[in-house]
Structure 1
Amino acid sequence: MSSIEIATTRNPAPPPAPQPGGAGEESPYFNRELSWLSFNERVLAEAANEAYPLLERLRFLSISGSNLDEFMMIRVAGLVGQAQRGIDKVAIDGRTPTQQLAAIREQLAMISERQQEIWRDLRALLAEAGIHVADEHRVDPSAHEWLEQYFLEEILPIITPQALDPAHPFPFVHNEGIGLLFTLTRDIDAEQIIEMILIPSALPRFVRVPGQQEGSGGVPGEAIYISIASLVQRYAAKLFPGFTIEGDGLFRVLRDSDIEIEEEAEDLVRTFRSAIQRRRRGQVIQLELEEDFHPKAEAVLLEQLGVHEAAVIKTDGMIGLDGLAEIVGEDRPDLKFDAYSPRYPERIREHDGDAFSAIREKDIVIHHPYESFEVVVDFIRQAAIDPDVVAIKQTLYRAGSQSAVINALIEAAENGKSVTAVVELKARFDEEQNLKWATKLERAGVQVIYGFTDWKTHAKTAMVVRREEEGFRTYCHFGTGNYHPVTAKIYTDLSFFTADPKLGRDAAKMFNFVTGYVEPHSLEKIHIAPIDLREEIYRRIDNEIANAAKGKPAAIWMKCNQITDQGMIDRLYAASDAGVSVELLIRGICCLRPCIEGMSENIRVKSIIGRFLEHSRIYAFANGHAMPSPKAAVFISSADLMERNLDRRVESLIPIDNRTVHDQVLQQVLLANMLDTEQSWWLNADGTYSRVDTDAKPFNCHRYFMTNPSLSGRGGSLEAGGVPKLSLRKGRAG
């Protein structure tokens, strides 16, 4: 059997110890918002990672921009609202909303500057590779003719210049809206006028200049991209005949996009439709301006937009970095990661594609995106056409715009099955799409349930009831991620299929809880938030504390996206203080402060940022045996360790009891993440992150899963040596 051994004491090396007199006098918790900004800085660092192909680096820069936009529209908008209403509720670290805003804006300025630095570097490197962005010097005369014609035929008919004066009310600039202000002097009387042109969102951010991109002999040709805004600036004279253009400036607006729903809303669907419309007109939270914006035009813009609490960012670089995603689509495989095709689980193939037969034989775990999301879709499709299937129930949090799962549910209803879909209207930025799906499902005869008004239904569960010789059998799918075909290609998540009768009965009770408010009693295996999920994790942590006191092996391994809940953090501090070894894999926000003597000296926190977005939630407890152990208690979950997930959402915590699946989740998926060195960052006691040192044995968990056989293949794959076995080597390396 091939193996990969990595010593716990040297590879990966632990984070640096805190300096005496340093963080000890500070809060025992990190600020949530500042921790999120640190996460986005780690994403941004990948844009500067020279080990990545050039267009992938550009993708990370674009992601950092879109991440920051959402942060401003939701988190910062919430803090601004609290500050305006005089709400002094302090964060976990003791900061008031006003203090948090000040710290955020200081860090935001540094991040924005770093983004532009990286953009300038990438732009130069792209040019060397034959991709020119907003470089009009590369455009030859024939292309200039094409650009002018494109402007006259494709842009001019749909843009509308509007004078800003008492006779013309200031136009509304929608959320994420981009516009131009022109300062003009009328030739006939020298009167100065300010005109605004809003760039319609239907237009692309960039236009690709044709005719110059063809290469020869297999060598890529040149590609030239010109922004739509720069084309409007370039041909503005055709918009304003009889005027002299004194100056122009590009701007972009971000607005408060959070949706607040009153708990007493009588019609949830109608309420959400209204709230989505209000979102587009929310308070301005951030205004981006070109550095050389004309002073008079800037003053008008600030006054008319009512920019008071908003962050104003001036830059000599690119405005709206999220738009760079369009350039990433350039057909240059040599500048991207090698193409990767997810594997279809061998276990299903062995049963000639019959998912029910495969699941009935043995529980199955699927590791996305390394294994295809199609197996989840096929599970629902097969249920839709199987004459023995009598009922399907499924939660839908984010399903995407082109959802095969939705179509399968519709087909099932049309085939006479009893189909219930729990559609979550409160899935942020997916509310409108989910409303459309709900309408389509209802028209097909699906029973659509919207769940609780004040709790989101975040659990990812599907159950299929099938009539068989022995009677009715329930097949379940439990996931750590959404039923979303796009994110399933880039998010690492787990899908667990089972025909365990106990899990089936518990799943039915969970659905009854959401659809009929029937609180489940006597659950056999599943733990549900907000009922007892928090208490079960507490119980497991307390059990490790008790084992440590008895001198037994005691360890906690947790992998999730965020940890912000104070109660959970305090429980982990207590475990550390009792001598329990705590290893946390937290991709994003972490309010827990590790490596503090007398508080968290036995806790290490690592974040993995790489080709795929780590998204699965796995919670493992030593249970009196040295980790990793077949005796460990292992769970997968839809829940992060946040107050909202534990107390204000319907979430599920699923125990993994099947031996093969247990080994795959603990000793492959979780352990590989722990051993990763190439994509990992340590969280230090002062809140900073530092890359894990890579020694002579570097290890990349994403590459490991991409290049090894399917973990959910034949049941004996781990024993047969089909997958290189990972191990932690105890003791100090020589």
Structure 2
Amino acid sequence: MRLDFLTHHDFMNRELSWMAFNERVLALSQDAGQPLLERANFLSITQSNFDEWYMVRMADLIRDIQAGDDKKDPAGMTPQQQMNAVRHAIRKQLRHQYRSYEALKVALSNVHLPILPVADLKAHDRAAVRQIFQQTIQPQLVLKTMDATSLSEVSNGTINFVVGHTRDADWTTFALPATTPRFIRVPGPNSRFVTTTDVMTTYIADLANNLADKQVYQFRILQDMSMPILPKSTTDVVDAIQAEVDKRATAPAINLTVSAQMPAELKRHLQQVLGVDRLHVFKVKGPLAYDFVTELNDLLKQEDQAAKFAFLHYHPYQPHQVKALTGADIFDNIVAQDYLVHHPYDSYDAVLSFFQQAVHDDMVSEIGISIYRVSHDSPIVAALTQAAQAGKHVVALVEIKARFDEPNNLKLVDTLQAAGVTVFTSFPAMKVHAKMAYVVRDGRTIVHLGTGNYNDKTAHFYTDFGLFTADEPMAADVRRVFAYVTGQASQPQELADIRIAPNMLRTTLIEQIDEMIAAADAGKHPKIWFKVNSISDQELIERLYIASQAGVHIHLLVRGIATAMPNLPNVSENIQIRSIVGRLLEHSRIYLFRRDKEDVTVYLASADAMPRNFDRRVELLFPIHDAALKHRIRKIFRQMWSDRAQSFNKTRNGRYVRRKLKADSDPVPVQERLLIAAENEND
């Protein structure tokens, strides 16, 4: 068992792995087996994924290159080499997005939901659409002379127009307001649509007489939205994060996307004035971005056509109601036994009830929670404020550094403090990503630990586990972790049950892997099963390679980034990597170690297997002790691993290949099967 012969070919670059993930999502937008408007949703998701990745990860790469950093990643690539490779993948993905959009338009037309060019409408329909434009959109538009000042005011992610002629010195520019609908319904008995951008281009002369017969082009920018790590010496984290949020409006542009027809000289002018490197300028056919396609759903609802076109969506489902966790006796039930919930198959009402019942239970004296992301009208936040106003001691750790949720969480701090909640805001240089809550009832601590956020909205389409327990060692660990993250105590070096990052989490997983290696050396048949969003920690991956060489069979179920490479000769022959992308976003984290049939260790976690989670965040890894609950998790993993309807295999060259159905395999995707099974439990 050696590592000294490992080369950069034994690892995949993180950014290219992310691009491969977004390609898998894009594949679902092209999958005729998916309901049509869900395919449109997948196309929209690829755009929001791409934008966030560019504004953060690409921004970091640009900074590394500008700083002269030539350090190689585990795949042997310098930042500049990564940039070059990623740009090639981006161009390929932009072409795939366009083809997907064009195919969607054909499919929508086939079900009588056409997206039509304005030029193809009859004269009376064009007149009606023009009137809608003049009355509802034109008043929102602010025309400006295109110069350095007007271009400096361009907002991140908005669609912008430039109007003029190459022989003219003056160009006019204006933005499509973010609140403007991107589709206009053509009046009439049928559901027909035109895009707002097409209407604006067609009737540009309506905006001003001098715009008649001028050329119209579009452009869009993305800005550097990364958030720097605060110095450890920062004394006021709230003020520091607010200052960084305020800077975003004037952050430098790092990406420019323009219409394919835009003249080269105009493109160069925009690039130079906006300060975008030419390597980050992209000409595209069709729309500049595809985040708008889901607006068709809203239009159909406004027309009361949602029921008519329900077949274009996934069928609705009723989650399993865990009755023991939704009544006034919830805390007595948890004291009696541990409960495991698997969302969204099990209703999120169980989590809501945990907080809501704590408000009304006179025996509950204290409530604590760590918050990373919550919904805008969160019933959990409502319960916390109600409890504080009722005189209960409520403690909330709000991680205000949650990416792109910083403004929401800054407001949340004010809301909670105004209600009398004791609020803490974590460490300057480290995020608290742990998902934990507790209540103290009649002197006993009862806890909830999860793999996902306390967000009642995303809980409907993110898969996550939650554990309710009153186990005293685990409850004591939770209280010690709370004391640490709220600044009341130093970081615990030892805990009875829970393991935390930084310091403990990677070490614990490697210790478990080493035990599997020892079991293989002893002639047993150990297995390692991980289910994570991403795996990119080099030290952990290298130890998995050693385990593979020792004969340990390793299954990695990874939704997103996987820099580990499977099935490499003499390196990872016993490692298989699969990815499930589908109706639900696979968000739960499982770390399972099987020495033999009766000796299995199961952990759930808030953390993925990434350096940031192990080294720069406070995370929880918590064991499942109850045999029945461990069995349930193992069964769920096996069901997901065996899926052939919505999963991809990663090959030894880094490509992902859609698994094919066999004659005896279930054609129903595993997520759908689990939803049906959960619904049947209500009968």
Normalising by structure 1, what TM-score? Answer: 0.87
- Contact 1:206 / 1:226 at 8 angstroms: preserved in 2? yes
Question: How far apart are the structure 1 equivalents of 2:71 and 2:135?
Answer: 54
Question: Equivalent residue for 2:268?
Answer: 299
Question: Equivalent residue for 1:451?
Answer: 426
Question: How far apart are the structure 2 equivalents of 1:543 and 1:710?
Answer: 39
- Contact 2:129 / 2:187 at 8 angstroms: preserved in 1? no
- Contact 1:88 / 1:97 at 8 angstroms: preserved in 2? yes
Q: Which amino acid counterpart does residue 248 of structure 1 have in structure 2?
A: V
Secondary structure of the 2:292 match is helix
| 1:121 and 2:93 correspond | no
Cα distance, 1:294 vs. partner? 3.8
Q: Which amino acid counterpart does residue 83 of structure 1 have in structure 2?
A: I
Cα distance, 1:287 vs. partner? 1.3
Question: Equivalent residue for 2:471?
Answer: 500
Question: Equivalent residue for 2:628?
Answer: 660
Question: Equivalent residue for 2:557?
Answer: 585
Question: Equivalent residue for 1:99?
Answer: 81
- Contact 2:271 / 2:281 at 8 angstroms: preserved in 1? no
| 1:286 and 2:267 correspond | no
Secondary structure of the 1:704 match is helix
Q: Which amino acid counterpart does residue 203 of structure 1 have in structure 2?
A: T
Which deviates the most, 391-400 or 267-276? 267-276
Matches within 5 A, 1:530-549: 530-549=502-521
Moved over 6 A (4+): none
| 1:193 and 2:170 correspond | yes
Question: Equivalent residue for 2:303?
Answer: none
Higher relative contact order (CA 8 A, sep 6+): 1
| 1:177 and 2:168 correspond | no
Cα distance, 1:142 vs. partner? 4.8
Question: Equivalent residue for 1:373?
Answer: 348
Question: Equivalent residue for 1:319?
Answer: 288
Deviations 1:664-692 (A, max 9, x none): 1122x212111111111111111011122
Cα distance, 1:172 vs. partner? 1.6
- Contact 2:520 / 2:550 at 8 angstroms: preserved in 1? yes
Q: Which amino acid counterpart does residue 197 of structure 1 have in structure 2?
A: F
**Equivalent of 2:61, from 79, 85, 104?**
79
Matches within 5 A, 1:64-463: 64-137=46-119, 139-164=121-146, 170-184=151-165, 192-213=169-190, 223-263=191-231, 264-308=233-277, 310-329=279-298, 330=300, 331=306, 332-348=309-325, 352=327, 354-463=329-438
Question: How far apart are the structure 2 equivalents of 1:133 and 1:177?
Answer: 21
- Contact 2:345 / 2:678 at 8 angstroms: preserved in 1? no
| CA spacing shift, 1:309–1:395, aligned 2, 3 Å | farther
Cα distance, 1:532 vs. partner? 1.0
Structure 2: state its 5+ residue gaps.
Answer: 301-305
Cα distance, 1:380 vs. partner? 0.6
Question: How far apart are the structure 1 equivalents of 2:473 and 2:115?
Answer: 58
Question: How far apart are the structure 2 equivalents of 1:242 and 1:621?
Answer: 72
- Contact 2:318 / 2:679 at 8 angstroms: preserved in 1? no
Cα distance, 1:295 vs. partner? 4.1
Which deviates the most, 654-663 or 24-33? 24-33
Question: Equivalent residue for 1:684?
Answer: 651
| CA spacing shift, 1:260–1:134, aligned 2, 3 Å | farther
| CA spacing shift, 1:419–1:25, aligned 2, 3 Å | closer
Question: Equivalent residue for 2:638?
Answer: 671
Cα distance, 1:555 vs. partner? 1.0
User: Percent identical across equivalent pairs?
Assistant: 35
- Contact 2:317 / 2:679 at 8 angstroms: preserved in 1? no
Question: How far apart are the structure 1 equivalents of 2:483 and 2:8?
Answer: 46
- Contact 2:346 / 2:678 at 8 angstroms: preserved in 1? no
Deviations 1:604-648 (A, max 9, x none): 11111111111110111113x13xx4x310111001000010111
- Contact 1:385 / 1:415 at 8 angstroms: preserved in 2? no
Q: Which amino acid counterpart does residue 343 of structure 1 have in structure 2?
A: H
**Equivalent of 2:485, from 514, 519, 525?**
514
Secondary structure of the 1:440 match is helix
Secondary structure of the 1:181 match is strand
Q: Which amino acid counterpart does residue 53 of structure 1 have in structure 2?
A: P
| CA spacing shift, 1:676–1:173, aligned 2, 3 Å | same
Secondary structure of the 1:27 match is helix
Question: How far apart are the structure 1 equivalents of 2:179 and 2:435?
Answer: 33
- Contact 1:394 / 1:463 at 8 angstroms: preserved in 2? yes
Cα distance, 1:324 vs. partner? 1.2
Structure 1: state its 5+ residue gaps.
Answer: 1-22, 214-222, 715-721, 723-734
Count of equivalent residues: 667
**Equivalent of 1:554, from 526, 529, 532?**
526
Deviations 1:710-730 (A, max 9, x none): 79x79xxxxxxx9xxxxxxxx
Secondary structure of the 1:392 match is strand
| CA spacing shift, 1:130–1:338, aligned 2, 3 Å | same
Question: How far apart are the structure 1 equivalents of 2:114 and 2:51?
Answer: 25
Cα distance, 1:192 vs. partner? 4.7
**Equivalent of 1:647, from 605, 615, 619?**
615
Question: Equivalent residue for 1:219?
Answer: none
Q: Which amino acid counterpart does residue 574 of structure 1 have in structure 2?
A: I
- Contact 2:37 / 2:294 at 8 angstroms: preserved in 1? no
- Contact 1:261 / 1:271 at 8 angstroms: preserved in 2? no
Q: Which amino acid counterpart does residue 401 of structure 2 have in structure 1?
A: K
**Equivalent of 2:587, from 607, 612, 615?**
615
Query: Alpha carbon RMSD of aligned pairs, Å?
Result: 2.1
Cα distance, 1:520 vs. partner? 1.8
Deviations 1:361-407 (A, max 9, x none): 21111111111112111111111221111111101111122211111
- Contact 2:271 / 2:278 at 8 angstroms: preserved in 1? no
| CA spacing shift, 1:197–1:557, aligned 2, 3 Å | same
Cα distance, 1:137 vs. partner? 4.9
Cα distance, 1:538 vs. partner? 1.0
Secondary structure of the 2:604 match is strand
Q: Which amino acid counterpart does residue 204 of structure 1 have in structure 2?
A: P
Secondary structure of the 1:676 match is coil
Cα distance, 1:562 vs. partner? 0.5
- Contact 1:173 / 1:198 at 8 angstroms: preserved in 2? yes
Cα distance, 1:244 vs. partner? 3.5
Question: Equivalent residue for 1:489?
Answer: 460
- Contact 2:319 / 2:678 at 8 angstroms: preserved in 1? no
Q: Which amino acid counterpart does residue 258 of structure 1 have in structure 2?
A: S
Question: How far apart are the structure 2 equivalents of 1:309 and 1:486?
Answer: 40
Question: How far apart are the structure 2 equivalents of 1:326 and 1:709?
Answer: 30
Deviations 1:118-165 (A, max 9, x none): 111111111111112253256455543443333233222221111125
